[in-house]
Amino acid sequence: MSDQGVQTSTIGMRWARRMIIFAVLLLGLGAWATWDAFVVYPKRGQAFAEWAEWQYLLSLKDESRMDPGIMTRNAPVTDPKAELDRLRSDELARQRLSMAARYEWLRALSLVGQLEPEKTNYATVAPRQREEQLAQAWASRDKPAALRGYDIPSQYLMMIVGYGLGAYILVLLARVAVTKYRWNPSTKALTLPSGAAITPSDLAEVDKRKWDKFIVFLKIRPGVDRVGGTSVRVDTFRHGKVEEWILDMEREAFGPQENPSADGSADQAGAQSPPESPAGVSAT
């Protein structure tokens, strides 16, 4: 309370706690999705691509029993993007074991953004030598799970949702915190965030049809400065102290009133406030 006795509203603490919990959960979701999108899934996808490459070279090794030079000739892929497109559309080609294995390898590389010639042309290592390296690396390891096409994109979507909604709630909290109502108990005048002031004599009606959701509409008589003839919406859940001020104005203007409860029955003015509403994130 100031020196002049004017009181200022606070942010509704129950609402603020709820919003902070929501913000933390949403930002946590965004952080989790970020970790999956940039660390967990790429690492798993790279492991599967390496395993798929081993299977591809093994299939060519088996075919080399009939054609000893096939690994040197067929293993390198100089244009992996074009080759992946060709194999994707040519089911007949994929009936050959080595071509089916090549398709899985190239597709696995594409899902982790590594479908580049330097990954597939065997310019720095011979195919047989590479197969021996992979055999040593994977002989005692289990096959990793393959990525699905939507695994990484879905994490990007979760990042957008988590960070976006989390940031929105934080901005909303800040907006509500700086939105102030002021109350002069001696004159029972309520000053709105817009700067307009209303007194009990300015009220035409206190509309409580959404009282169970902590929303009240103050219908103002015509002729009142700046707000005459309008209906002022007030969220008493977001803004602390405002509910008691409005009830005080209502009693002053209309005498003791009955407040509608959530189930439609009537409680005397000043009775217990209605239960919390989950509708806490609508626009201020």
- DSSP per residue over the chain, as a string? --TT--EE-EE-HHHHHHHHHHHHHHHHHHHHHHHIIIIIHHHHHHHHHHHHHHHHHHHHHHHTTT-TTHHHHHS--S-HHHHHHHHHH-TTGGGSHHHHHHHHHHHHHHHTT---HHHHS-SSS-HHHHHHHHHHHHTTSPPPPPPPTTHHHHHHHHHHHHHHHHHHHHHHHHHHHH---EEETTTTEEE-TTS-EE-GGGEEEEE-TTGGGTEEEEEEPTTSTTTTT-EEEEETTTEETHHHHHHHHHHHHHSS-EEE-TTS-EEETTSPPPPP-S---S--
Please state, in angstroms and rounded to a whole number, the distance separating the CA atoms of residues 143 and 243.
63
Tell me what the pLDDT averaged over the chain comes to.
Answer: 89
Phi, psi of 63 (to 5 degrees): -70, -25
Is it the case that residue 150 has pLDDT exceeding 60?
yes
Confidence (pLDDT) at 260 = 53
Is it the case that residue 259 has pLDDT exceeding 60?
no
Average pLDDT (187-204) is 96
In one-letter notation, the amino acid at residue 239 is H
Please state, in angstroms and rounded to a whole number, the distance separating the CA atoms of residues 259 and 271.
8
> Cα Rg for the chain, rounded, in angstroms?
34
In one-letter notation, the amino acid at residue 19 is M
By the 8 A CB rule, do 83 and 76 touch?
A: no
Is it the case that residue 2 has pLDDT exceeding 70?
no
Confidence (pLDDT) at 283 = 38
By the 8 A CB rule, do 61 and 131 touch?
A: yes
Confidence (pLDDT) at 65 = 87
Nearest Cα neighbor of 190 from 150, 168, 220 is 220
Confidence (pLDDT) at 4 = 63
Count of positions (residues) in the chain: 284
Is it the case that residue 15 has pLDDT exceeding 50?
yes
Confidence (pLDDT) at 264 = 43
Is it the case that residue 187 has pLDDT exceeding 70?
yes
Is it the case that residue 1 has pLDDT exceeding 80?
no
> pLDDT tens digits, residue range 112-131?
999 999 999 999 999 999 99
